Amino acid sequence: MIEEASINVNGLMKGDENAFQALFIDYYSVLVSFAMKYLEDQEAAEDIVQDVFVKIWETREKLGGIDNLSAYLYQMVRFRSFNYLRAEKVRQDATKFFTEELEETEVNEYIKNETFRIVMQTLEDLPPGSRNVFSRAIQGYSAKEIADELGIAVETVKKQKQVAWRILKEKLGNLFSLFFLVG
């Protein structure tokens, strides 16, 4: 480790770039190695150490109040490493949450679309008379209104609705009650 006496704190405080460069050269690699013990990510460790040196340069006028600059550098790297890990954990948790939420939303959308497709296909497979009557019935028309519109007897409308209900119930199973009995 570098001896504290070799750090020109007065020169740093006065903005001596040579003193800063000497500090950087003496400590950069050991601080990166120190950060790597926490991060296990070379690029992140280098970024953190560079940020520490930028902060040292920006606040150089206040360095006189620090008893041991070497220890201070290590402490800054450690705190920034912890902050990085904490932020990384939050980012990973948020990414995981949104990915799971997105996947669930995509699955729900697929199920909704596929269910709608199955119901529509089943409706298309109804005999034409039953399909005409049933499509009007689910739109809210009464048996009398359907009979008048199609020019058939009310009893025929009721019979066609029964045929449609039976076929749909057979083909759709549980989807039948989901679509036609709820709501």
Q: Give the residue, 94 or 154, on which the prediction is more confident.
A: 154
Residue 102, pLDDT score: 63
Q: Report pLDDT for 6.
A: 65
Q: What's residue 178's pLDDT?
A: 62
* Average pLDDT across the chain, whole number: 84
Residue 161: C-alpha distances to residues 48, 126, 129, 165 (Å): 73, 11, 9, 6
List pLDDT tens digits, range 98-125. 766 666 677 777 777 777 787 778 888 8
| pTM of the shown model | 0.51
Question: Average pLDDT of 27-41?
Answer: 93
pLDDT of residue 2: 40
pLDDT, average across residues 35-50: 93
Q: Give the pLDDT score at 125.
A: 84
Non-local CB neighbours of 87 within 8 Å, separated by 6+ positions: none
SS3 string, the chain, reads: CCCHHHCCHHHHHCCCHHHHHHHHHHHHHHHHHHHHHHHCCHHHHHHHHHHHHHHHHHCHHHHHHCCCHHHHHHHHHHHHHHHHHHHHHHHHHHHHHHHHHHHHHHHHHHHHHHHHHHHHHHHHCCCHHHHHHHHHHHCCCCHHHHHHHHCCCHHHHHHHHHHHHHHHHHHHCHHHHHHHCCC
| Among the listed residues 166, 23, 178, the one whose alpha carbon sits nearest the alpha carbon of residue 158 | 166
Task: Residue 134: name the closest of 145, 123, 125 by CA.
Answer: 123
Report the pLDDT averaged over residues 119-132: 84
Give the whole-angstrom CA distance, residue 104 versus residue 90. 21
In the predicted structure, residue 175 carries a pLDDT above the cut 70: no
Residue 141 predicted with pLDDT over 70: yes
pLDDT surpasses 90 at 28: yes
pLDDT of 172 higher than 80: no
Query: Is the distance from CB of 128 to CB of 118 less than 8 angstroms?
Result: no
